[in-house]
A and B are shown apart, each in its own frame.
Chain A
């Protein structure tokens, strides 16, 4: 049995492509019209200064507290990695770009720490779910957005690289919460 369509033949309206006039067929008036707008913006200095950012000489003004750029792994006040390798970020990550390997920590105040912490920055969609999920605020997104690499392997950021980003950005964006130790 075939399902009966819920529309009637009379519902169909045939629309023909409108015939183009002589000027329209030449395309030139439209091209000049478009160029006029471009030229207007080029020579209006005020409009240009307000909207155009002369990247890379000029940088965009970011709201640093909330901008979601490249990740960093925070250090605690003793300079150790703050992460406790709980895998919450890996669990929350919708792009599956975080890969952690946990191990028993060498410090008495903590149970577990990551021996490996890799983020595939090419796979990441910068949604910030990892930051939300982290129970110790160890992973954060930074205002840094220059993300360049020569190869795919280079773009898989390991623990050292992520800790370096913290060192680089901690003045620009201080760590949100104090580190949590002891349960």
Chain B
């Protein structure tokens, strides 16, 4: 590991990274706009310039060079000595900030980026308090560049991150810089709007409020949002995200750095696919069907209701007539608690992995990658935890059934009771399942939306969306990633973990860690979680 000297202090850093990245990783704050660790380096913003020691060509002695060097473009080398705490560097930062703010409108009060804007932060930290500009400011137009993105050209600082993202990660290259100098603008080509499936990321990497999300536009001020570390439930890639919520409502999802899984990115499908969380059609009442009548018991009665009903089935038809359909939308903890509980009542109960929705094929980015390894993948398997459910079923052992076998056995009236878990945001009940449901005497349905399963069920347990739950998902590569709840469950619902923990007979209150510790005794794999490394405080 090379050691470099920054402002007289020696820091140890990773090999083959720019000085800027090394300083950021050591906890320092160097202003930068154009540098992004996931994109190529252009050194165009000139904010991160530093002084460097180099040998004097005449005397061969190491001296501070008269000119400044971009720290984002200078790779680290053992023994390299640089400094940021000099007047020359600080003057450069102040002058750069003044240039950036020459034509920037003072519309922070109505700008959605305010509060997480690096023009605000750097202006406060490295800039001047007033502007010397006396001429009228250039006013560039507001442009509608794509179905999900707006471009406010006058807020732009020309860092070209968005352009490089579209070229290098999305591989579609819709954005370009047109014109030169103070007339330079980001724009799309005529008739070719920004329509790639990763376009939400250009909004994230924009350090200022130039690129904005139409979906989030003017919805909330960012300082009201509380972030929870979560994992996207949109597909099996398992991108780590933050759920940004305020007053019980999810407002947006943002990707969270996770090297090797989603890096800095996430797809639009996941980013904007959380709307079903607040769908008014969601089930929100624990319901028990008694003949034609519907009864709405209290949540505290649930353990007794399900235990009594399952026990009576076991007494009548034997322990082998019970099946549990675990959904690939459940967290591992929930699936384990449910399966263990049913196995306590009916030791021969069959465990079934529910159907995983498949849409199209896996999609790799950049588009047209010419055989280069993909930088981002959107998976065809549109559920977050199929691997996890399979791990739980294998770990618990005992009788298992594939979903088709389960349908066949149900059709042959071999199954008298089934706890069927749904949780899919889309319609998931196929005709074969609809037909099979008629042959099952006791159906306990746990789902978020009304479906054919809840119509046929004796006990309907309203489930929560992933944003309201906590636990862990196992992604397509087998990485076990924990996620936290972003919001409280909607009125009438309870966290799946909470009631399953009560049904399971756990002590005290549910916490995902507690259940994971119990699981790890049975399945040691669950003792090892994949938690992405922290992002340097001043990096963006």
Contacts and interface: CB of A to CB of B under 8 A. Distances in A.
Interface of A: 84-88, 90-91, 102-104, 110-112, 135-136, 183
Contacts of A87: 221, 224
Nearest to B150: A104
B109 A88 contact: yes
B134 interface: no
Nearest to A134: B109
Given A91-B223, A183-B105, A84 B110 contact: yes
B394 interface: no
B218 A135 contact: no
Nearest to A135: B109
B293 interface: no
Contact of B106 (A85, A102, A183): A183
B218 A85 contact: yes
A183 B221 contact: no
A100 to B, nearest CB: 9
A103 B218 contact: yes
B491 interface: no
Given A91-B223, A183-B105, A104 B110 contact: no
Interface in B415-454: none
B42 to A, nearest CB: 29
Interface string B221-242: 1011000000000000000000
B217 interface: yes
A26 to B, nearest CB: 61
Contacts of A84: 109-110
Given A84-B110, A111-B110, A112-B218, 16 more contacts: A84-B109, A85-B110, A85-B218, A87-B221, A87-B224, A88-B109, A90-B221, A91-B221, A102-B219, A104-B217, A104-B218, A110-B110, A112-B110, A136-B109, A183-B106, A183-B107
Q: Is the interface of B mostly helix, strand, loop or mixed?
A: loop
A111 B107 contact: yes
A84 B110 CA distance: 7
- Most chain A CB inside 10 Å of its own CB: which residue of B218, B223, B224: B218
Contacts, number: 29
Contacts of A112: 110, 218
Interface of B: 105-107, 109-110, 217-219, 221, 223-224
Contacts of A85: 110, 218
B33 to A, nearest CB: 21
B511 to A, nearest CB: 30
Contacts of A91: 221, 223-224
A22 B363 CA distance: 99
Nearest to A110: B110
B215 to A, nearest CB: 13
Contacts of A104: 217-218
A111 to B, nearest CB: 4
B144 to A, nearest CB: 12
A134 B110 CA distance: 12
B131 to A, nearest CB: 13
A104 B219 CA distance: 10
Task: State the 9 A-B residue pairs at the shortest beta-carbon distance, nearest first.
Answer: A86-B109, A183-B105, A183-B107, A112-B110, A102-B218, A111-B110, A87-B221, A135-B109, A183-B106
A88 to B, nearest CB: 6
5 contacts: A85-B110, A86-B221, A87-B221, A88-B109, A91-B224
Contacts of B106: 183
A127 to B, nearest CB: 20
A183 B223 CA distance: 22
A90 B246 CA distance: 14
A93 to B, nearest CB: 12
A104 B105 CA distance: 17
Contacts of A88: 109
A110 B111 CA distance: 12
Given A102-B218, A112-B218, A86 B223 contact: no
Nearest to A115: B218
Contacts of B107: 111, 183
B120 to A, nearest CB: 14
Contacts of B219: 102
A102 B109 CA distance: 12
A111 B109 CA distance: 10
A104 B106 CA distance: 18
Nearest to A112: B110
A163 to B, nearest CB: 20
A88 B108 CA distance: 11
A87 B110 CA distance: 9
A84 B219 CA distance: 13
A87 B222 CA distance: 11
Contacts of A102: 218-219
Nearest to B219: A102
A90 B247 CA distance: 14
Contacts of B110: 84-86, 110-112
Nearest to A99: B247
Contacts of B109: 84, 86, 88, 135-136
Contacts of A86: 109-110, 221
A85 B220 CA distance: 10
A85 B106 CA distance: 15
- Most chain A CB inside 10 Å of its own CB: which residue of B110, B219, B223, B224: B110
A90 B219 CA distance: 14
Nearest to A104: B218
Contacts of B105: 183
Contacts of B217: 104
A111 B218 CA distance: 10
Nearest to A102: B218
A9 B107 CA distance: 66
B141 to A, nearest CB: 12
Contacts of A111: 107, 110
Nearest to B154: A183
Contacts of A90: 221
Nearest to A114: B218
Nearest to B106: A183
A146 B337 CA distance: 60
B170 to A, nearest CB: 27
Nearest to B152: A111
